[in-house]
Structure 1
């Protein structure tokens, strides 16, 4: 029998999706499952985007340009310029989600066995993208005790080798919700220029910042044209996860020229989704104001309820819509499976994302989970009450 590849065998399972079979069994047992495990917003997508697809005038569903349609890229550039990010349409390649943008970035700046330093915990699929690209992730650990702030630059510099090609951050962070300050971005910018590295910033949650905080992009920092690569997506910004439209942004022409070759190899991004995404750029600021108010209230309710549970420690997010929660258990994978298979409160249970999958270091985060606060407040309160009862029963 032919063998599958070592690369395929080494591809990590998604900590977010690997529990789906157990959730399906819970459904079949007529349990109600509160999904705290996945960042699928329950906010409605902008109607203007939905209408653009419904009312299209296409007669042929044709390829677009490999880098995305020029009209859409010009509108994306205008959006960035409104955020003080000096991008033009020639600095942008439209991708099939932020995921493809990350794959293009790794393929464009790294060879096999090159290294990328990433503060952990980080978005779990970075592990998968790195494995698929033959890239080695070198983690630098941020800790719940200081709310997952940027580790000292000296800790990064200890890890830099001749194989190091980039620093990768997610800002605001998935799974921590941490928002890097302007000063932290400036420290990273100084370091990558000093060591001649790329700084790749996954900025898909840019719009979601709280408590008066503001997002500071790596391309707002002067002197970063040669070093900065932004990863972006419409998935979270417009609650359009199924559109699968993202982009890679860089002022470095060699990066864009190289990434375009990867884009040409997959032909083009999806046409209808680009139509919807282009229309979504007309979404009024009031949409985001309402969403931010909603997420702020959800976050505050969630954190307050979690902190009432004995033995629980919670990170305080300043952006995105996730938080890391440390539980008084030994193994959150086993706990998450038990919640779905063997536990319920009056026919209700919860689904969480074990946090070990958001680390590349071994045996780290084993007692942590990620919670996405993408449910209504009443559902979050019910879910946390279920978690409290579950912890009591599990530990007995």
Structure 2
């Protein structure tokens, strides 16, 4: 029998999606599930984006430019310029989601066996992207005690070798919700310049910064112009996860030219989704003001509720819409599956994402879960009640 590749065997399962079969079985058995496991906002997609697609009279659904619509890239550059990011359309490649932009970035700057340093816990698919690219992740653990702030720069420097090509961050962070400060970003920038490294910054949650804090982008630093690569997406910003439109942004034209070869190989990003994404840039500021107010209220309900549960520790997020909670259990994978298979409260249960999949260090985060606070407030309140009851029952078991 033909054999599966070693790369395929090493490709990790998604900690976010691997429990879906158990959830589907639970639903068939009549359970209602509050899905805290996946970052799918319930916020309405801006009507201007939906109308842009609805009102099209296209007769031939043709390819776009491999870099994406020129009109979209021009408009996107103008959006970034308003946030102190001095880029032009020529610094942008539109991708099929932020995921493809990350693959383009890794493909453009690394060779098999090269290393990328990433603070962990990190977005679980970074493990998959690294495996697909033949890249080794060198993790640096951040801790729940300080809400997953940037580890000391000296810890980064200890890991740098001739194989190190980049530092990858997510800002604000998925799964932690941590928002890096301007000072932290400048420390990373100085390190990257000192060792001639790239910094890849995943900024898909850039609009979601709370408590009076502001997002600071690596693209705002002129001295980092040749080292900085930004990944972005419309998925979370406009509640358009299904559009699968993202982008890779860099002032380094060698990076852009190389990424373009990967973009040409996949032909072009989807046409209708680009139409929607371009129109979404006309979304009024009031939309984000209301969305941020809603997420802050949800965060407060979740964090305050979790802090009241015996044995639970939680890092307070300053951005995005996730938090990591540490539970008084040994195996969050077992607990998450048990929630779906064996537990219910009045016919209801919850679905969470075991956090071990957000680490690359073995046996780390096994008693942690990631929670996405993308449900309406009353559903979050109910989910917290279910979690507290479930923990008591599970610990007795």
Residue 337 of structure 2: aligned partner: 337
Q: What does 1:195-210 align with in structure 2 at a 5 Å threshold?
A: 195-210=195-210
Q: Which residue of 2 aligns with 1:101?
A: 101
| Deviation sequence 1:59-92 (CA, Å, 0-9, x none) | 2100000000100000000000011100100000
- TM-score of the pair, normalised by structure 2: 0.99
Q: Distance in 2 between matches of 1:200 and 1:24?
A: 36
Deviation at 1:145, TM superposition (A): 0.8
Matches within 5 A, 1:254-273: 254-273=254-273
Q: Whole-Å Cα distance in 1 between the matches of residues 208 and 99 of structure 2?
A: 19
Residue aligning to 1:213:
213
- SS class of match (2:380): helix
CA distance in 1, matches of 2:33, 2:57: 41
What corresponds to 1:238 in structure 2? 238
Q: d(CA) in 1 for partners of 2:223 and 2:159?
A: 24
Determine the C-alpha separation between the residues in 1 that align with 2:366 and 2:4: 29
In the alignment, is residue 180 of structure 1 matched against residue 180 of structure 2? yes
The within-5 A match list for 1:7-26 is: 7-26=7-26
Count of matched residue pairs: 396
Q: What secondary structure is seen at the aligned counterpart in 2 of 1:169? A: strand
State the alpha-carbon separation in 2 of the partners of residues 146 and 205 from structure 1: 20
Q: Take 1:339 and 1:154, find their aligned partners in 2: how far apart are those partners?
A: 41
Distance 2:272 2:165 in 1: 35
Question: What's the counterpart of residue 4 of structure 2?
Answer: 4
The aligned counterpart of 2:144 is: 144
Q: What is the deviation of 1:58? A: 1.6
Deviations 1:297-350 (A, max 9, x none): 000011111111000000100000000000000000000000000000010000
Runs of 4+ in 1 over 4 A off after TM superposition: none
Q: Following the alignment from structure 1 to structure 2, what is the Cα–Cα distance between the partners of residues 32 and 192?
A: 48
Alignment correspondent of 1:90: 90
Q: For 2:392 and 2:228, how far apart are their aligned partners in 1?
A: 47
TM-score, normalised by the number of residues in structure 1: 1.00
Aligned-partner Cα distance in 1 for 2:211–2:17: 31
CA distance, structure 1, for counterparts of residue 259 and residue 331 of structure 2: 40
Deviations 1:132-158 (A, max 9, x none): 000000000100011100000000000
For 2:58, the equivalent position in structure 1 comes to 58
State the match for 2:283 in structure 1. Answer: 283
Provide the residue aligned with 2:163 in structure 1. Answer: 163
Q: Which runs of 5+ in 1 are unaligned?
A: none
- How far residue 273 of structure 1 moved from its aligned partner, in angstroms, is 0.2
Structure 1 Cα separation of the partners of residues 40 and 269 of structure 2: 21
The offset of 1:356, in angstroms, is 0.1
Distance in 2 (alpha carbons) for counterparts of 1:68 and 1:3: 38
CA distance in 2 between counterparts of 1:253 and 1:305 reads 48
Q: Over aligned residues, Cα RMSD in angstroms?
A: 0.4
**Partner residue, 1:113:** 113
The corresponding residue for 2:348 is 348
What does residue 81 of structure 2 align with?
81
Q: Counterparts of 2:305 and 2:94 in 1: how far apart (Å)?
A: 40
For residues 177 and 222 of structure 2, the distance between their equivalents in structure 1, rounded to whole angstroms, comes to: 26
1:394 is aligned to: 394
- 1:125 shift after superposition: 0.1
DSSP-derived class of the 2:100 partner? helix
Distance in 1 (alpha carbons) for counterparts of 2:211 and 2:370: 21
Q: Match of 2:295?
A: 295
Report the alpha carbon displacement of residue 4 of structure 1 after superposing the two structures with TM.
1.0
1:322 aligned to 2:328? Answer: no
Extract unaligned runs of 5+ from structure 2.
none
Distance, in Å, in 2 between the alignment partners of 1:222 and 1:150 is: 22
**Deviations along 1:142-197, whole A, 9 cap, x unmatched?**
00011100000000000001000000000000000000000000000000000000
Compare 54-63 and 44-53 and name the one that shifted more.
54-63
| 1:221 CA drift (Å) | 1.4
- 215-224 vs 10-19, greater mean Cα deviation: 215-224
Partner Cα separation in structure 1 for residue 382 and residue 56 of structure 2: 42
Q: What do the CA deviations read for 1:252-289 (whole angstroms, capped 9, x no partner)? A: 00000000000000000000000000000000000000
1:57 Cα deviation after fit: 2.8
